[in-house]
Amino acid sequence: MSDFDYESRIVSIPDYPEKGVIFKDITPLFADPDGLVHLVDDIADHFLGRGITKVVGAEARGFLVGAPVAYKLGAGFVPARKPGKLPREVYSQSYSLEYGTDELQIHKDALSPDDVVLIVDDLVATGGTAAATAKLVEQSGARIEGFSFILELTFLNPRDVIAKEYPDREVYTLIPVK
């Protein structure tokens, strides 16, 4: 784990988007050149040498993390998008949210059984988006090497949800939030 001070570049916004929630704004981390370099390097370096061929990031902040990590690893980047955003044939995966359901999609030709995949996002809360993204990867026949996040809301136990389906896959987080 890095000794870089990520926390000072993340702003906590109380009662946003609703009362009782403390929103973690990561935009200052992305705006800071040192912060951006460290987060990309720390995630990519952690998974270096594991044969990653593709990085999959969930819409939309997963794109901000995933594309530069893919570049650093010499891998391709695959966006997992909301329905109706991709123009070709897609795999789809629905998942539960606290207030309903959502869905992610990837192009059917984006991954192959030869691919080794790292799934990334800015935040893991309940683990539902990460698990849905992993199920999309599985539909393609590709192999999941691991998961990585900038922030992990540890009090919601997202690792339990991920480990239930993917017990032998590593979850790497830069900032655990208790």
Of 18, 88, 89, 98, the catalytic one is 98
| Residue 79: partners with Cβ closer than 8 Å, 6 or more residues away | 56, 57, 59, 62, 63, 66, 106
- In 15-142, which residue ranges form alpha helices assigned H by DSSP? 27-31, 33-47, 61-73, 128-140
67 neighbors 57 (Cβ within 8 angstroms): yes
Q: Annotated catalytic, 98?
A: yes
Look at strands 90-97 and 22-25 and give their pairing. unpaired
What is d(CA 95, CA 102) in angstroms, rounded to the nearest whole number?
Answer: 6
Of 59, 61, 159, 170, the catalytic one is 61
Q: Annotated catalytic, 159?
A: no
Look at strands 143-153 and 11-14 and give their pairing. unpaired
| Cα angle 78, 154, 68; round to 5 | 25
Which residues are the active-site residues? 61, 98
